[in-house]
């Protein structure tokens, strides 16, 4: 088994794990955390693809690697906005839940 396949398996497990957490955790903060786990899994798959594509003297295909950097920055922005919404919701209602109260 090559290390690319090993980490490919790892990434598949992370996506599944994050998906499970996203569905089952009731707290929004845990959902945000779960989203970050899925994100890590998906980015790792980019890494695996990049590693498979090592050529021309590069240890990995630089294109997917660069895409991951863009993706990480976007994921951070998403997390920051979600956390800000969550904290504002908590300030307004004293609770941090997505359950509808109507």
Partner 1 sequence: MALDAVLAVLVVGVAVWTVAARDTFAAVVGFVAFGLLVALIWVRLAAPDVALTEAALGSGLTGGLLLGASTRLGRTEAEATGELPGGLLQFAAATVSVLVSAGLIALVLLLPEPAPTLAPKVAANIAATGLQNPVTAVLMAYRAIDTLLEVMVLLLALVGMWSLAPDHLWGGAPGRREPADPDGVLTFVAQVLLPVGILVAIHIFWVGSVAPGGEFQGATIFAAMWILATMAGLANTPPVMRRSLRLLLIAGPAVFFAIGLAGFAIAGAFLAYPADYAKLLILIIEIPLTLSIATTLALLVAGPPEQEPQR
Partner 2 sequence: MIEPLLMPGSATAGGFLLVLAVVLPVLGVLLSLALGGRHAERIALILMPAGLAVAGATTAAVWRTRAVLQYFVGGWYPPLGVAFRADGLSAVMMLVTGLLICGIGLFARVQFASPEQGEGRAPFAFWTLLLAIWGGLNAVFLGGDLFNLYVALELLTFAAVPLVSLDGRAETIKAALRYLLFALLGSILYLLGAVLFYGAYGALAIVILSGRVRAEPVAWAAIALMTAGLLAKAALYPFHLWLPPAHAGAPAPASAILSGLVVKAPFFLVVRLWFDVMPGQPQQAAAQILGTLGAAAILFGSVVALRQARLKLLIAYSTVAQIGYLFLMFPLAVKPVTGHPWSTFAWTGGVVQAISHAVAKAAMFLAAGLIAEALGHDRIARLAGIGRALPVTVLAFGLGGLSLMGLPPSGGFVAKAMLLSAAVSEGQWWWAVVVLTGGLLAAGYVFLVLARSLADPVEPLRLSATISPGRQAVVLALALCAVLLGFVPLRPLELLQIGRPV
Window 18 to 47, contacts with partner 1 (CB under 8 A) = 18-21, 23-27, 29-30, 32-34, 36-37, 40, 43-45, 47
- Asked whether the beta carbons of 40 and 12 are under 8 A apart, the reply is no
Could you tell me the two tokens for 88?
């504002």
How far is Cα 90 from Cα 84, in angstroms, rounded to an integer? 10
Residue 93 CB, shortest distance to partner 1, in Å, is 10
- Asked whether the beta carbons of 43 and 68 are under 8 A apart, the reply is yes
Chain residues binding partner 2 by CB under 8 A are 15, 22, 28, 31-32, 35, 38-39, 42, 45-46, 48-49, 52-53, 63-64, 67, 70-71, 74, 77-78, 81-82, 85-86, 88-89, 92-93, 98, 100
């Amino acid at each position: 088994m090559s290390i690319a396949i090993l980490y490919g398996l790892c990434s598949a497990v992370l996506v599944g794990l994050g998906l499970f957490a996203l569905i089952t955790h009731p707290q929004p903060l845990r959902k945000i955390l779960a989203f970050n786990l899925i994100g890590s899994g998906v980015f790792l798959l980019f890494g695996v693809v990049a590693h498979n594509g090592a050529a021309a003297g590069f240890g990995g295909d630089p294109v997917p690697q660069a895409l991951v950097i863009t993706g990480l920055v976007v994921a951070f922005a998403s997390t920051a906005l979600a956390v800000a919404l969550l904290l504002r919701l908590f300030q307004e209602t004293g609770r941090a839940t997505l359950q509808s109260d109507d």
